[in-house]
Structure 1
């Protein structure tokens, strides 16, 4: 009977917080925040892309060669460029007829305003000299390869063999190691992004209700642990609504992806399988939210002013980024000591175990990990409630330990 009553009180607090958050005009702004962020990011990206395209359009690799060798090098350049992606290809080739002093002519190419020389080749093709800028070593090596191809074509002439390649696209039946590692990193990033975007609001909610004396009224009617857990579940319900809304939209947009991009996405196959991975990803997002949210609840309950909440924002973000960095390292090195450490440490465990689901097909570690994480959720909620009871309620809603720490003499 006591357990049933506790659950009912917890769900009452959760429902109260969920309704108070969702049924407000501000929630629509929160729900469409990714669109606003994406719009600003697109504007900045378009500006950066236009600058990059303008710079790339003026860049050139220059070869100072006689006309007959320049013609052969141009053909070799066209042939070699088919091996590069568009964004990875070297700058366009420009050939110049040698003057009386080729070295001086090559150095002058870097000073001209007609184009931006990334590298300039001059001299005999069997021992050419290549001038390049501080960040253009790859361009210099490409010019060296181009010189060799030109020399081979020139010497062989009509005897250059023609190679006709039959290209056959192969679809893997299972996940490749590279695909598993990429899936693991995307899983870590997905959990990190969602918790970073959604869990931080718990701090402000707790501090606001404490400042308005609402938290003390709830604590007088309901056990404090139920208040903390109920508020955490209520805000988690808001987070789930956000994820379901945007997950549905992204799922519909996925049908319009180009075939080539769809084929590339097919390589990102988790080792545990697609359906099981989706379930585990949601479970670990839940645990990451509850773990970080319970910590933030305990800290936010100690903050009595907006200034203290702002002071907490940076440490909270640093903690989240630290967990992301640790789990990313674990994702790239499965079964290493750093992976084990990330899987055992409570705050990084959901991130690291989501990566493990992409790297390993074993099920039992996830059962143990979810139980381990649930245990720490209970520990954090209990500790946060006791700190609030001792630091705030017993002092007549006075300043929490954050305020006392800030006001204590050095």
Structure 2
């Protein structure tokens, strides 16, 4: 055990003391934060907006397009003719204009509204303008049929009368389901990336020592199995340290961000109240309240604890297989790629099952994927995000953890047998059939 820890300590310090570790662990999040901060800065500081002049001679809009308060698309109502509007468009006073003639009939289907601009209009801007005008015309047509705004809102929000609940009577909130979906997808993808990145790192470390003949010197005082386990533990510790640093940086930067850009909160508090602005503010606050309510319903301690367990379990299971492949190949990297296919297929299969598990966590395919050790690290994170017992039962979670531990022990034993023979074998192209013979050959 002491020799395993010595090898693990060497692997850990060798990688942590490199400049690449500092750049990837601290520099990369800071660069991402810098880009994110620049996007917020330009979105907060930018005064660019798209001004549309509206000359409504048919009194189609009655002085306002809709109730949405937007700083990106601004509609200004004027009493100009087309010549005056074109002149202001050429001078750059407006970016576009909408002229509604006096005899315009919105319900005839023959007339159409023409928005003229002096320059090309982007796709998103076109969508926003069309959406706001269409919504305004739709509401006014319904009101012309003696349908009140309250009735219109009631018709549009009929889905709010439909509620989902479990057999225990507990209401299943849509906000919780949506956030659980996002958390499950993100957690599963993180595990997927971890298995490839750090598993490949173990394989390359073994290959480098074998090619440089350092392994021959090391195994004279350390058993091959101890060397393999030491490399797995050392590199795994590096990965765990990276994730801890990233989590601290993410939460720390989230606290620093409002202090750097106080205008974000200031703009929301100082937003002018105009016609329809109250409804928009109510909608915004309602959406934020729904989001916060959904976050409160998520059991984050359970998710974080399971993430750490399945991160370590999945890493140990797959890194032992990656180490076995690294010990069997020589200088040619193509040999390693051909041997990696049977290892990569279960990971890719787990990613496919995860996309179904986040939508239907209790399906038979999701249950199988969360119990099978080669796929459980990814699939179980998609199910556990929905909570216990909605997404996964306690019994299934315990069985999955026990099977993952058993799978790790089995792959470690199997990889150790392959590693012992392959680490000192040179000049021979190895196949999986040959490695299988090494694994079950008597000592």
TM over 0.5: yes
28, 37, 42: which is aligned to 1:34?
Answer: 28
In structure 1, runs of 5+ residues without a counterpart are 1-6, 101-108, 166-171, 406-410
What's the counterpart of residue 387 of structure 1?
Answer: 418
SS at 2:66's partner residue? Answer: helix
1:303 corresponds in structure 2 to 329
Residue 268 (str. 1) matches residue 292 (str. 2): no
Separation in 1 of the partners of 2:99 and 2:366?
A: 47
Is 1:18–2:12 an aligned residue pair? yes
Distance 1:212 1:263, change over 3 A: farther
Name the counterpart of 1:401: 430
- Alpha-carbon separation, structure 2, partners of 1:219 and 1:126: 86
Contact 2:321 2:412 in 1 (8 A): yes
Partner of 2:377: 350
Q: Distance in 2 between matches of 1:120 and 1:398?
A: 81
Higher mean alpha-carbon deviation, 14-23 vs 383-392, is at 383-392
CA distance change for structure 1 residues 161 and 200 in 2, over 3 Å: closer, same or farther? closer
2-structure distance, mates of 1:153, 1:262? 30
Other structure's SS at 1:359 match: coil
Alpha-carbon distance in structure 1 between the residues aligned to 2:289 and 2:186: 16
Partner of 1:248: 248
For residues 346-365 of structure 1, give each alpha carbon's deviation from its aligned partner in whole angstroms, at most 9, with x where no partner exists: 33211221222222314332
- Evaluate the alpha carbon distance shift between residue 185 and residue 161 of structure 1 in structure 2; reply closer, same or farther with a 3 A threshold: closer
User: Is 1:331 matched with 2:354?
Assistant: no
Paired position in structure 2 for 1:105: none
Deviates more, 1:127-136 or 1:276-285: 127-136
Q: What's the counterpart of residue 293 of structure 1?
A: 319
Quote the Cα distance in structure 1 between the aligned partners of 2:350 and 2:99.
47
Q: CA deviation at 1:371?
A: 1.7
SS in structure 2 of the partner of residue 332 of structure 1: coil
Point out the more displaced range, 284-293 or 192-201: 192-201
TM-score under structure 2 length normalisation? 0.63
Q: Go from structure 1 to structure 2 and tell me whether the alpha carbon gap of 1:146 and 1:217 turns closer, same or farther (over 3 Å shift).
A: same
Q: Which ranges in structure 2 are unaligned for 5 or more consecutive residues? A: 83-88, 115-120, 154-169, 259-264, 266-284, 435-443
TM-score when scaled to structure 1?
A: 0.67
Q: State the alpha-carbon separation in 2 of the partners of residues 120 and 305 from structure 1.
A: 73
Matches within 5 A, 1:345-384: 345-361=372-388, 362-384=393-415
Alpha-carbon contact 1:298-1:388 (below 8 Å) kept: yes
Q: 1:301 to 1:94 in 2, by over 3 A?
A: farther
- How many pairs are equivalent? 362
Measured against aligned partners, the alpha-carbon deviations of 1:276-298 in whole angstroms (never above 9, x if no partner) come to 33222211111122223223222
C-alpha distance in structure 1 between counterparts of 2:335 and 2:99, whole Å: 57
- Which position in structure 1 is the counterpart of 2:261? none
Instruction: Say whether residues 1:208 and 2:208 are aligned partners.
Output: yes
Contact 2:179 2:295 in 1 (8 A): yes
1:127 paired with 2:108, answer yes
Distance 1:202 1:32 in 2: 22
Against the structure 1 CA distance between its residues 215 and 364, is the aligned structure 2 distance closer, same or farther, given a 3 Å change threshold? farther
CA contact (8 A) 1:270 1:359 kept: no
Compared CA separation, residues 155 and 369, structure 1 to 2 (3 A): closer
Pick aligned residue for 2:136 from 116, 141, 146: 146
- Where 1:347 maps in the other structure, the secondary structure is coil
CA contact under 8 A between 1:284 and 1:350: conserved in structure 2?
yes
Partners of 1:404 and 1:263 in 2: how far apart?
56
Deviation at 1:208, TM superposition (A): 0.8
Residue of structure 1 equivalent to 2:66: 78
CA drift at 1:209? 1.0
Asked if structure 1 preserves the Cα contact closer than 8 Å seen for 2:206 and 2:323, the reply is yes
Q: Give SS of 2:385's match.
A: helix
- 8 A Cα contact 2:51 2:96, kept in partner: yes
